[in-house]
Structures are given as C-alpha cells and as structure tokens.
Amino acid sequence: MIQLIIGQLLNGAIVGSLYGIVALGITLTFGITGIVNFALGAFMMLGAYFTWYGYELIGLPYPIAVIVAVLLVATLGLVADLGLFRFTRNNLVNGLLVSIGLISIIEASVLLTWTSTPKDLSYVLPGSLRVGGILLPKIKLAVFAVLLLVIASTYLALTRTWIGRAAFAYAQNPEAAALMGVKTNRLQTIVTVYSTALAGLGGALYASLYSLEPTIGAYYVLKAVESAILAGIGNTIGALVGGIIIGISEGIGSVFLPTAFRDAYGMLFLVLILLFKPSGLLGSK
C-alpha cells in the first residue's frame, strides 16, 4: 500500500510537471497579454507529433527531434501571434474564442495528416532505477528533470534579465512600463511565442512517455488552466506547484476513490480554492 501511494505520488508529480509547463505558458500569456490562450494545448499536441515525426519517421536522435519540434512550434506560435492574437490583446472573450477557432483548425489538420490512430515512440531511454524498493523508469526521471530545469530557468530569466523585469513591470503597470522604455508590442509577442515554445516542449517530452492522440491537447490545456488558477494566475513557480498538486491529487484520489472520477478530483479542489481563496493558493491577497 505504501509503495502504491509513493508510486502514485511520483507519477502524479511527473504528470503534474507536464501540466505545469503548459500552465506556465498560460500564466505568462495571461499576465502580459490579458488573454487565456487555450490554443497552447493544441501547440503542445503539435510539439508531440513533430517529435514523433522527427524521431520515428525521419530517424533523428531524440534530443535533436525535441529541439526541432520546439523551434517549429515556436515559429507557428509567432505566425499565430502576428496573424491573430495581436488583434485580441486585453480582450479576454475574443482571445478565448480566437484560440478555440485555432484549436479546431490545428486538431483537424493533425487528424487529416496523421489520422486518429494513437502513435507511440519506440523506447527513447529504456531501463529504470530502483530507489528504496520502487522502480522508477529512467525516462520519467529525465523528463521530470528537464521540466524542472526549464521552469526554474524561466523563473531566473524573469527575475534576473532585463526583458524578464520588463515583463514584470508591464504586468504591474503597462503604462508606466511603456514610459520606462519597454516596447510593449514586442514584449507581448516575445511572451506569446515563448509560451508556445514551452507548450511545444511539454508536448515533445510527453511524446516519450505516453501515446499521442489529437485530443491530448484539449485535455492537457484544461489541466494547465486549472493548475495556473490553483496557484494564483501570474505566479511563475506557482504554475509548477499547481500542476504537481493537481497531478498528485488525481493520483492519490484514484487510489482511495473511484478511478472513473479522477478528472473530477482536481476540479473539485480548484473550485474550493477559487471560492475560499480567489487569489490562488500562493496568491498574496
């Protein structure tokens, strides 16, 4: 029993960090452009498919396939920002709906190109480590480590670099930031594209763990939005924490309660948080 619980804890943490990386994109985009970009889920799914294509069909080494996939997704993100999201800044409902239109287009295009048959990557990194009687697949540990590293360096970049501090300043007071010489349009584009790249990376790593279907994007983006709100939207490290909490509450919830409702446990938790602490778990007010 203890082993099962520890196993679920670790699994929950790893899945949760995947939610977390998409949630980080959601949080950053919301903070800087004022919209909730649901299309990040579709970009994540694209990242996964591009990785699969590069690794399985072209035969690139996995790390190269990941990098190529992330770059491709970021390019598409740039196109989407310049062509669409640029016109919906600070308009929550319009941004939401444009991103939903984009999801339909991306999902249907993937269905057309690669059909709905689930795709699997052959073992990227076989073998597992044994820690205190629990078997941990190496690939899961590697993915977890990369995700933690990326989220931590994003946090450092936000607090230590000029562009990061500009973003912070902009989130607090857009006009004052503009007066201080922050090129707000460019900042918004950079943040949107960086968020899509993060989602693409999430997808590229996801591909090495689970099988790919065109619907994974919609599933993960909902979890990511939950995670972002759970910790308090706008909170960088909170996105990761929120993701891990959701992942673990689903894992542990399905040990003690019916598995069929695993998606509901995270949501229930989220609703309670929103009702009693609307600024999120880690929120200040």
Partner 1 sequence: MMRFVPLVALACALAAPLFIRSDSTFAIVTFGLLLASLAVSFNLIFGFTGQLSFFHAASFGVAAYITAILVSDYRWNFWLAIGPALATVAMLALVVGAICFRFKLREFYFAVVTMAFSEMIRLVVVNWNSVTNGTLGMTVTAQPTLWSPSGPVALSGARVWYYVALAVLVVTYVVCQRVLASWIGRCFAAIRLNEQLGETLGVNVFLYKLLSFVIGSVLAGLVGCFYGFYTGFIEPQYLSITQSLDIISMVLLGGVSSLFGPVIGGLVLTALPHVIDLTAELRIILYGAILIFVILVMPRGIFGLFERPHHAV
Binding footprint of partner 1 on the chain (CB under 8 A): 36, 84, 87-88, 92-94, 96-98, 100-105, 107-109, 111-112, 218, 222, 225-226, 229, 258, 260-261, 263-264, 267-268, 270-271, 274-275, 278
| Cα first-last separation, the chain | 39
Contacts 24+ apart (CB under 8 A), 113-118: 114/49, 114/214, 116/213, 116/214, 118/211, 118/212, 118/213
| Shortest CB 34 distance to partner 1, Å | 10
Q: With H, G, I as helix, E, B as strand and everything else as coil, classify residue 215.
A: coil
- 237-254 burial by CB neighbour count: b if 16+ within 10 A, else e? bbbbbbbbbbbbbbbbbb
Cβ 186 to partner 1, closest distance in Å?
A: 21
Could you tell me the smallest distance in angstroms from the CB atom of residue 185 to partner 1?
A: 17
Cβ 139 to partner 1 shortest distance, Å:
30
- Closer CB to partner 1, 19 or 55, in the complex: 19
Alpha-carbon distances of 115 from 83, 118, 188, rounded to whole Å: 27, 8, 34
For the bound state, the minimum distance from the C-beta of residue 46 to partner 1, rounded and expressed in Å, comes to 15
